[in-house]
């Protein structure tokens, strides 16, 4: 036989061996093993794999690869001959499912990201992401896709509204990779990843995985695929289980001389300036408008902060892929911390540039996008943190728009209040998100104005004296975060001054820094996060809607985290995305080598806008005071303490319905602390004995910080 023909036959034989035989459905695999009274451990020892691997094969979460595949098929065929399917049960197994191949998408004629022809508009975000089927649901068997080298396995999922799938990214926005090379995607899909080095992983992700997400705005850019590495996967690619050494821990990245960093450089890939840390971005410069970038998240390096994600990093890769997929579909593909993702979401929904036609050349070029933050802008001196260059030498005072941290003077407590049995804390759902709704903010540079006439429609910072305004001493002042009465002229954001006018005050600003180009920049951000929050609450069994009884809502909230503990991690992450995203608008300098007066990297972002952050927090604080004032007017009830979006009241019972003013039909009076699942409405934060709260107040502590049974966290995202 000619040598060439032998070579062809050998290649064909290799393909046949790689394809292997046909595996029975996962449920049949388990039936055959249990019929023979074999344990998963016994099968694992015979095939020289881990017991968990056999469990994954039987659950359909993974498929065996050569040479284990042929041996496993041989075992199952032998068991099938000994233990055939009982009469009457034949034909009940699920049929094999083949993952669809991603069709090729032609590049647009513009050739630049964000242009009119750069790709189709993003599909509407689905309201739910199908969860991967549990092992008990007997997911279907998988066959190797003929359209790609990776194996895609789709277990049978519960019937649900299927997400709109972009044909370029059939396997969703992300995958969680384990040490055996199984890449768990959303919808129960599991891909076989053959890569054993980071550069090979990047190539596989971009060329074979079908992972990614479409842009959220027609002028934006598609999301880079995210690969989450478990601890075993990190070891597979030569990464340490933990960042070792004092310098690595301090900088949270691998040293430049690490083997993996050198591999990336030799393969002509680049790392961003942040280096290879818990969230590493590996890229090549875009060519022809096509991005080449993959993001890695290393779980064992604390990529998922427990303060935002709870115990998500401890979940099985399939379950982790599910909840990260929910977050990615409803919010954004994670880009780093939830604070970073919150800020990136602003840019993704309002990109700074759009494609415009150059009349002189007839070509498409980037141009500013109306309504967006298009370029970095330095703040006015009173709006800047003290480290900022424009604040150096400034002695005219600074904006102090922060969240409440106030405790009522114990001397103002009445005996009747102290004799009540309970102190009940109520919390405003995503208070900063509610404040961002329909908020007009400045888009351009600040302009200094002397003796301006106040206009609540004009965003900016106003230097005005509000110390003459008389308010009830049992309520915190709405003008300061400490709740103490102002002592003289000070700088305030527009919502604070507007509230002073609402209270009937005559305000006469001495000067102001105003922005004439304005817009509701945060509206798309608010709308997307609100939908994500409400939808996730509904998935956790909390009813949403105007007709939901408040008692029904409170009952559902008592157990909502038990409905789906993993999905509760998503709810926590959404809330953290709100707070962290607003905080990132005034990101402070980091690093021990920084010196006041120097610029830091965050200042070069169009989204570094401390004035917008101040306006949001100002409106949130004002909203809280308005509710407390209306409650006092309606019921004569006053708060004990406030911490950010949590307020504590004395109560005759353990429920907010025991102290809040009610209408004739038993609902909480509008204008006060209405209860419900929507942002801006309230829920229970915690309940303690009244004597406990009074004792803390007399010691100078804030009961709102501890009402939940721990220490509340003021997440400013800085």
The 3-class secondary structure across 130-193, one letter per residue, is CCCCCHHHCCCCECCCCCCCCCEECCCCCCCCCCCCCCCCCCCCEEEECCCCEEECHHHCEEEC
Q: Which of 77-91, 345-359, 387-401, 674-688 has the weakest average pLDDT?
A: 77-91
460: β partners: 514
The answer, as to whether pTM is greater than 0.75, is: yes
| E strands present in 288-376 | 290-298, 353-357, 364-368
Q: Summarize the confidence of residues 474-479 as an average pLDDT.
A: 97
Q: Summarize the confidence of residues 583-593 as an average pLDDT.
A: 90
Q: Summarize the confidence of residues 142-162 as an average pLDDT.
A: 39
d(CA 276, CA 610): 29
Nearest to 534 by CA among 645, 677, 323: 677
Contact between 669 and 660 (Cβ < 8 Å): yes
pLDDT of residue 181: 94
Q: What is the percentage of the chain residues whose pLDDT exceeds 70? A: 84
Nearest to 326 by CA among 531, 561, 545, 99: 531
State the DSSP H helix or E strand holding residue 3, giving kind and residue range, or none if neither.
helix 3-19
pLDDT of residue 121: 40
The structure tokens 């990214």 sit at 169
Q: Summarize the confidence of residues 37-60 as an average pLDDT.
A: 85
Q: Summarize the confidence of residues 682-697 as an average pLDDT.
A: 96
Query: How, if at all, do strands 447-450 and 441-442 pair?
Result: unpaired
Reduced to 3 states, what is the DSSP secondary structure of residue 642?
Answer: strand
pLDDT of residue 328: 97
Contact between 246 and 314 (Cβ < 8 Å): no
pLDDT of residue 155: 42
CA distances from 159 to 131, 162, 187, 329 (A): 10, 8, 11, 18
pLDDT of residue 95: 35
Q: What is the mean pLDDT of the chain?
A: 85
Q: Is the omega angle on the peptide bond into residue 14 within 30 degrees of 0, that is, cis?
A: no
pLDDT of residue 34: 84
pLDDT of residue 288: 67
Written as one string, the DSSP assignment of 29-66 is: HHHHHHHTT--HHHHHHHHTS-HHHHHHHHHTS----T
d(CA 513, CA 493): 10
Nearest to 346 by CA among 230, 486, 443: 443
In eight-state DSSP terms, residue 447 is: E
Comparing 148 with 481, the larger pLDDT belongs to: 481
pLDDT of residue 15: 53
Q: Which residues fall within 8 angstroms of residue 361, CB to CB, at 6 or more apart?
A: none
Q: Summarize the confidence of residues 472-486 as an average pLDDT.
A: 96
- Residues 639-673: pLDDT tens digits? 999 999 999 999 999 999 999 999 988 899 999 99
Residue 83, pLDDT above cutoff 80? yes
pLDDT of residue 607: 97
pLDDT of residue 247: 59
Residue 151, pLDDT above cutoff 80? no
Tokens coding 14:
């290799």
d(CA 184, CA 241): 20
Q: Summarize the confidence of residues 427-443 as an average pLDDT.
A: 96
Q: Which residues fall within 8 angstroms of residue 645, CB to CB, at 6 or more apart?
A: 403, 427, 428, 431, 432, 620, 624
pLDDT band at 11 (very low <50, low <70, confident <90, very high): low
CA dihedral 450, 453, 458, 462 (to 10 degrees): 50
């Amino acid at each position: 036989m000619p040598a060439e023909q032998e070579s062809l036959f050998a290649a064909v034989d290799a393909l046949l061996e790689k394809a292997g035989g046909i595996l029975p459905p996962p449920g049949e695999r388990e039936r055959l093993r249990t019929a023979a009274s074999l344990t998963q451990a016994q099968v694992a020892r015979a095939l020289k794999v881990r017991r968990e691997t056999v469990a994954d094969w039987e659950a359909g979460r993974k498929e065996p690869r050569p040479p284990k595949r042929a041996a496993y098929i041989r075992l199952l065929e032998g068991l099938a001959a000994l233990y055939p399917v009982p009469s009457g049960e034949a034909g009940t197994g699920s049929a094999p499912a083949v993952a669809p191949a991603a069709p090729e998408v032609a590049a647009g004629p513009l050739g630049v990201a964000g242009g009119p022809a750069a790709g189709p508009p993003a599909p509407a975000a689905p309201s739910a992401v199908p969860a991967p089927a549990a092992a008990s649901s007997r997911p279907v068997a998988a066959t190797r896709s003929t359209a790609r080298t990776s194996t895609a396995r789709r277990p049978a999922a519960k019937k649900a509204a299927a997400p709109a799938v972009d044909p370029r990214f059939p396997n969703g926005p992300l995958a969680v990779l384990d040490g055996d090379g199984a890449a768990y995607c959303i919808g129960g899909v599991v891909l076989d990843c053959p890569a054993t080095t980071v550069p090979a992983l990047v190539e596989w992700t971009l060329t074979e995985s079908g992972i990614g997400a479409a842009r959220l705005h027609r002028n934006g850019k598609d999301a880079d695929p995210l690969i989450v590495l478990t601890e075993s996967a990190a070891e597979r690619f030569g990464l340490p289980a933990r960042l070792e050494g004092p310098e690595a821990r301090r900088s949270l990245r691998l040293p430049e001389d690490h083997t993996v960093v050198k591999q990336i450089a030799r393969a002509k890939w680049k790392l961003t300036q942040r280096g290879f840390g818990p969230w590493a971005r590996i890229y090549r410069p875009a060519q022809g408008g096509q991005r080449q970038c993959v993001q890695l998240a290393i779980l064992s390096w604390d990529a998922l902060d427990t303060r935002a994600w709870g115990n998500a990093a401890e979940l099985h890769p399939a379950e982790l892929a599910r909840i990260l997929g929910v977050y990615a579909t409803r919010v954004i593909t994670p880009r780093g911390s939830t604070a970073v993702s919150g800020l990136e979401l602003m840019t993704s929904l309002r990109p700074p540039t759009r494609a415009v036609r150059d009349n002189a050349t007839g070509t498409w070029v980037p141009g500013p996008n109306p309504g967006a933050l298009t370029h970095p802008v330095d703040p006015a001196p009173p709006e800047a943190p003290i480290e900022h260059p424009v604040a150096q030498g400034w002695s005219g005072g600074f904006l102090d728009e922060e969240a409440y941290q106030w405790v009522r003077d114990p001397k103002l407590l009445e005996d009747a209040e102290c004799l009540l049995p309970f102190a009940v804390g109520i919390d405003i759902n995503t208070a900063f998100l509610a404040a961002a709704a329909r908020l007009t903010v400045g888009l351009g540079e600040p302009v200094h104005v002397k003796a301006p006439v106040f206009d609540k429609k004009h965003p900016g910072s106003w230097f005005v004296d509000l110390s003459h305004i008389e308010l009830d001493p049992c309520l915190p002042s709405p003008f300061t975060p400490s709740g103490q009465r102002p002592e003289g002229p000070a700088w305030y954001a527009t919502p604070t001054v507007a509230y002073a006018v609402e209270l009937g005050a005559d305000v006469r600003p001495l000067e102001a820094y105003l922005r004439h180009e304005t817009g509701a920049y945060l509206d798309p951000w608010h709308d997307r996060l609100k939908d994500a929050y409400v939808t996730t609450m509904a998935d956790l069994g909390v009813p949403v809607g105007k007709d939901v009884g408040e008692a029904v809502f409170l009952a559902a909230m008592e157990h909502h985290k038990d409905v789906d503990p993993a999905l509760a991690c998503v709810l926590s992450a959404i809330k953290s995305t709100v707070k962290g995203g607003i905080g990132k608008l005034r990101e402070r300098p980091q690093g021990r080598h920084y010196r006041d007066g120097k610029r830091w990297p965050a200042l070069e972002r169009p989204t570094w806008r401390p004035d917008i952050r101040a306006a949001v927090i100002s409106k949130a604080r004002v909203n809280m005071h308005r509710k407390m004032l209306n409650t006092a007017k309606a019921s004569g009830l006053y708060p004990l303490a406030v911490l950010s979006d949590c307020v504590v009241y004395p109560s005759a019972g353990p429920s907010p319905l025991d102290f809040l003013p009610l209408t004739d039909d038993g609902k909480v009076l509008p204008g006060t602390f209405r209860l419900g699942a929507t942002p801006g409405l309230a829920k229970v934060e915690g309940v303690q004995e009244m004597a406990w709260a009074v004792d803390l107040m007399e010691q100078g502590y804030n009961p709102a910080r501890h009402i939940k049974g721990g220490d509340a966290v003021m997440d400013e995202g800085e």
